[in-house]
Every structure is written in C-alpha cells, then in structure tokens.
Structure 1
Amino acid sequence: MTHCPHALDDGAYVLGALSPSERAEYERHLAGCPACREAVAEIAVLPGLLGRLTDPDSLDLTPATPLPDRMPALLEAVGAERRRLRKVRRRRYVGAALVAAGLAAVVGVGVAGADAGWFGGGPSAGQVTARGTQIGVKLVAMQPVGGAVPVTAEIGINGTKWGTEISMRCAYKSGGDSSKAWTFRLVAHGADGATEQVGSWRAAAGETVEMNGATRFTGRELVRLELTSYDGKPLLAYDVP
C-alpha cells in the first residue's frame, strides 16, 4: 500500500498549526485524497472539544486547589465521535452498494477486466463502467497532448454560482485486448495553479463511457481540463476559453 506523505498532517491542519503555505498545500492535497479527507472529518470536532476546557488564565493555580483532569473525558468524547462517524459511513456504503447493484441489474453496465494495460493500473477485481449518463450540454472535442493516444473524449461545461458542472463522453479504440482495463482520471486546473480531480474510472478497449461531475472552480477560475492516465500523465486536454 502506498503511504500518503500527508498522512500525519490532519491533526495539525484541524488545530491550525500549519503555516499558511503548508495549509494551502494540504488543502490542495485534500481535493484528491479521500483517505486524508476522511481523517480530517474524524477529528474535526477537536477544536470544539478543546474549547470546552477551562481557560488557563482563569484557573486557580494555588497548591490548595487541584486542577480537574479533563483529558479522559476529552478522549472519550473523541472516541465516541469517531465511532458515530464510522457507523454513518457504513450505512452510506451499504446504501451506495445497493443502488449500484440495482442499476447494474436494470441497465446492464459493463464489467472491465482485471489486468493492467497500456495505461497501467494495478490488478483489481472487475470494475463497473458507467454508461447511460444524461448529458444535456453541448460537447466539444478534447485535444491530444504530446502525440496520438487510443482514446478520444468530448467535454461540456456549465457554470454555476458554486462551481462548474462538467459532462464528458470518452471512447476507447476497439481492436485491443478487451480483457484488459485502464484507469483514467479527469482533472480540473484553476487559474491559480490549483488542481482538483473531477472523477476517475476504468474502461477496456472498444468501450464508451459517459460521466457527469463538478468542480469548485467557477467562471474564469477554471482554465483547463485534462484526461490523464492512472499515473497522472496528460493524454487529452481542453483549454477553457
């Protein structure tokens, strides 16, 4: 398992112990790291819990007045909150699995193979490939980055007050080994150099995938969309006018 270089930064981030540059770097990292977002969510209650402790300036520090030990109660409160969040996540996972199973039975979505292919991606059990997404905006073609690649894509954007809705249709060159699947990602680039992953998926030769996603970048903040391979190599791009 790959170790996340920011795995130990969640506590410092929540408690405000990072410098402005470190905080900005960590927030960019959070956009593409579900594990770190989950870690931050689990301890987000710490500042509020710490705020319940007695103000040190108001404590009576004379030897005759022993200070109450608040740490056991604090640890118990943090543990209870973590257990509550785990239960909520488990219920969400079960609900999502049931919905996915129902869609697979009704729509008949394709299942990709398990081996790595031209674009890489580690061995995995069969993955569901999304199809039949409703696309209601005009699509324009993404352009190859640095040479020909066996994939084409069309992209459409719709600006909102809170960000930008993104629709995409990808087609993968047929004639290859359909038992192999490749991992792709759609990445949004902001005007300030920040990036945000819009979505990721797996697909095999001859398949077409449609997806809808969104990014927090609004209006002129969104400058570029890139379709990348599993290792981050840009394959196709669309520069937002």
Structure 2
Amino acid sequence: MRSQERHRDVAAYALGVLDEAESFRFEDHLMECPRCSAHVTEFGPVTRQLMLYRTATPRAVHPMAAPGPRLLDRLLGEVAARTRARRRRSLYAVAAAVVLAVAGPAIALTAERGSDPLRVEATDERSGVWAQVTAVAEPWGSEVSLEVKDAAGPRVCRLVAVGHDGSEETITTWTASSRDARPTSTEGGAALHPDEIARYEVRTTTGERLVTIPVQ
C-alpha cells in the first residue's frame, strides 16, 4: 500500500470498516505518522455518534431509511432544549458559587464530593504509564477526557471503558511518542454512563494492558 493510500484510510480505520489485515498495516503507519494519528482522534465524535445511532436504532429499521417530514423540526427542538438546559446549568453554577462563597469551607467540601465530573487516575508500576480519566455524564452516555504519560513509545494505544456487566467500549485512540514523558491529552465518549463503568484500561492495539484505572 502506498503512503498516500494509507493517509486516505484514516476514516475507514476510525469507523472500524477495515479488515484485520488492513487495520494491522494501518496501525504500523500510525506509529510513524502524527498527522494520521491526529485525524483518527478527530474522527472520535463522528464514530461516537454512529455508534449511538446503531445502538438506538431497532434492527427492523433499514439503515438507508428516509427521515420523516417532521424529523428536522424534532431535531431543532431537541437542540434548542439542550441549549436552554446548558444555560440553566450555568445559572445554577453561578448561584452555587455565590452560596459557597458566603457559606464557607464546610459547604465547599460537601459540594466538591458530590459534584461532576468524575476524575480518577492510576500508575502502573510495571509499565510506568500514568493516566487520568475525567468523565462527565451526558444524556447519551459519558464524555471522557484523558491525560496519559507514556515514555515507552512509539506505539498506538487506546482507552477502553469496561462496564460492570463486562461490556467494553473503545473511547479514543492515539499514538504515544518515543521517549516523551510529557502528558498527552485526548477526548472521546462512551455509550456507557459513568455509574455503569467499573474501570478504564489503557491498552496497546496489540492487546497489552498498560494501566488500569478503577472507578471508586
């Protein structure tokens, strides 16, 4: 496969439509191509939305079914409702900040314990990899941010959410640079809600587990 063709396979890899052999070759390419690695991360939101569509759509519905005439109105109404909800949350946050400033440290401590987002971290003594996961509950699942330090690259890695029921979802994929101890940041999402996730795992694409981050 020529280099230019590998670049064109970014979307197919991110959407999971390459076969096993093609995925293996593309992952070798990712280790040497920061541009493609960045593009794979950028496809995360698209992949997440397609996954949610697949989960929410009954099998009896044909994938190429045409939308009904009122679908656009419903979608616009939902976007407007979410916008109003975000504004209300912002107002509540401002009000809470005022209360905390007046009430003092005791109330501040209580609010911190019960607030979102959920943040967990861990370091693996064997691999030396440190990772911190921040998860925010959303109506569709979890919005997840990751910071990871891995100085043993180059290698392609992924963050996996493991549910209490044993189910797994790949949240995001990135390339760890060679001998670079600076933290790498990336974002993704899962259909699982934060309280449905038992732990997060950073793995290589070959299946090696680099660090496990349990959810308390």
TM band (smaller chain): 0.3 to 0.5
Tell me: higher relative CO, structure 1 or 2? Use CA pairs within 8 A at least 6 residues apart: 2
Normalised to the residue count of structure 1, the TM-score between the two structures is 0.41
Rg larger for: 1
Structure holding more helix per residue: 2
Normalised to the residue count of structure 2, the TM-score between the two structures is 0.46
